[in-house]
Structure 1
């Protein structure tokens, strides 16, 4: 078996493999629908033909207020006759090399199965959540003086800027700047409502009614409570014909704190996993807002990572003037398995939790400094699936 880069002539065979794995029309599309530069891909091949496929989306994911280049692993698929023969493992191992070469120091994925990804260093860090709200309950939303109107093409840049103002304050959301994100496609949704402010848009609602029944809010973004109320009342206006609406939670706290009445959190919950691919590059790319006022300090760690050997060994994480760098060396006072790096980097798990899970060992005092770096533990959320 060999693993190589995907080529244009692989399109039909790969489409049939992906359709077999994930469903879709039997008829092969005439052309790929991925924008140029949006993703790279690998195929596994033996004398029977293509036996496996893996795609790496070109994304950027917010951590500490900075968008970190991220490889979004997706569409991992293996021919039925080749399952259990190591095809997926080879693809995952080669994807780590590929992402490092492409300058993607972290990787995130939504797992269909857990064990293979854990074996290669990915670990649970957060969720993508959808809540369900009963529209009649939204009638109690306070009235707002904020005016709303339908969005136009001229609003697209401001819609994105409004999204970024929320997304950049959280850990986990994508910045939606990659070629795979076409803001113009927002206007294809059934409802795109914007709220004007003195310096541009102050919020927007993007929703669709794909099945003619429930309304699905893809984004509900607001800079302030009055705007949130105005947009929630837009949802409430559907109460005469629709019982409830689902809301994809970019900022769960906004919905929790502004929706009156009942809200069913966890209507949909999709766990995602993250892996550090290149430790020094990941540390350099991340923001560290909790450390702006902190005095300089260093944390000595030792990483075990058989699938990304370039980051195995001893590292000193050095904080100085609000920035952190990773330099080779140090005492290795805290030992981290590869699977621990994702939860540590994202801040989703404390050192104590990682220790209990058998992913961290060594000095308790030094390990506590790892939590100081990221402010762990705290929630990590994605606003979309891929």
Structure 2
């Protein structure tokens, strides 16, 4: 009853999708959510980080609270080219950009001719022994040179903190310069996804420019009846639309299956193997169109 009321209120407010970090998955799966990704926090031995000769055209300095709007802008510049990342605007994040002090111990900025091209935000932690950890909240860059610079900045902590703890952003500029073979898993936080309104979710999602095609399917959503029905998904030119149709179709998708495909967490064949997609006399892989664009990822816990 609680989740039904939550979904109805979100729909009335105009929401398109929902995401959450579960303490237990079963009750959410029963209501249409499913695990769409894992937020990974890893430990890297500081001595394993690469040390590059600093790039002459870059400058490194300590950030101040006045730099936070530029930091948020750089994060959002990167987030636009990826899938699933939060905007970092609103009640969760606005206090970080208006406070007189930084929301973490330190902020390291990398600039190119005065323009921010990378940053790391971090907490020093305590001590100098074997259990000392430098916790890096973000380490993001928009150029390879800036990524190398940030890796070198973190490496220079090796004399006081044997471990750097950070959240990886798969395939980004910084990960390309980290010794991924040396990382050790510290924590994994699975997150779950669910559509609130499938038509809004499809229209607002963003789609690869090269993806093109149509597929018809019936969707069942016992908690959100406005999502239940037979739909045609049409994708072209970086956009998509979901429209109702009256035809008989061979693909029958549960809302959990929709969540997995929409977020790029699975393939149509795997969703069918899990019993969340039923195909009658047709290839279920036609619904891979709904997963076009790759997997979503989160960097923020909430």
Q: TM-score with structure 1 length normalisation?
A: 0.71
SS of match in other structure, 2:219 = strand
What is residue 190 of structure 1 aligned with on the other side?
Answer: 105
What's the CA shift string for 1:26-55, capped at 9, x where partnerless?
Answer: xxxxxxxxxxxxxxxxxxxxxxxxxxxxxx
What is the Cα deviation at residue 237 of structure 1? 1.7
Alignment equivalent of 2:82, drawn from 160, 165, 170: 170
> Structure 1: 5+ residue runs without aligned partners?
1-89
Alignment equivalent of 2:230, drawn from 314, 317, 325: 314
Alignment equivalent of 1:337, drawn from 254, 257, 277: 254
Report if the CA contact (8 A) 1:137-1:262 is conserved. Answer: no
Report if the CA contact (8 A) 2:148-2:174 is conserved. Answer: no
What is residue 265 of structure 2 aligned with on the other side?
Answer: 348
Alignment of 1:77-226 (within 5 A): 90-138=1-49, 140-145=50-55, 146-182=58-94, 183-184=96-97, 187-198=102-113, 200-212=115-127, 213-226=132-145
1:230 aligns with 2:146: no
SS of match in other structure, 1:218 = strand
1:276 aligns with 2:181: no
What's the CA shift string for 1:247-291, capped at 9, x where partnerless?
Answer: 1223454444202475325321111010011111111111012xx
What is the Cα deviation at residue 331 of structure 1? 3.1
SS of match in other structure, 2:102 = helix
Aligned residues: 292
Report if the CA contact (8 A) 2:133-2:163 is conserved. Answer: yes
Higher relative contact order (CA 8 A, sep 6+): 2
Provide the C-alpha distance between the structure 2 equivalents of 1:373 and 1:294, rounded to a whole number of angstroms. 10
What is the Cα deviation at residue 102 of structure 1? 1.5
> Structure 2: 5+ residue runs without aligned partners?
none
What is residue 29 of structure 1 aligned with on the other side?
Answer: none
What is the Cα deviation at residue 326 of structure 1? 1.0
Q: What is the Cα-based RMSD across aligned positions, in Å?
A: 2.1
What's the CA shift string for 1:316-355, capped at 9, x where partnerless?
Answer: 1123433211111143331101111111111111101100
What is residue 287 of structure 1 aligned with on the other side?
Answer: 206
Structure-2 change in CA distance of 1:188 and 1:180 (3 Å): closer
Structure-2 change in CA distance of 1:315 and 1:262 (3 Å): closer
Provide the C-alpha distance between the structure 2 equivalents of 1:375 and 1:313, rounded to a whole number of angstroms. 22
Provide the C-alpha distance between the structure 1 equivalents of 2:32 and 2:144, rounded to a whole number of angstroms. 41
Provide the C-alpha distance between the structure 2 equivalents of 1:228 and 1:208, rounded to a whole number of angstroms. 19
SS of match in other structure, 2:71 = helix
Structure-2 change in CA distance of 1:366 and 1:215 (3 Å): same
Report if the CA contact (8 A) 2:261-2:290 is conserved. Answer: no
Report if the CA contact (8 A) 1:298-1:317 is conserved. Answer: yes
Report if the CA contact (8 A) 2:83-2:297 is conserved. Answer: yes
1:298 aligns with 2:214: yes
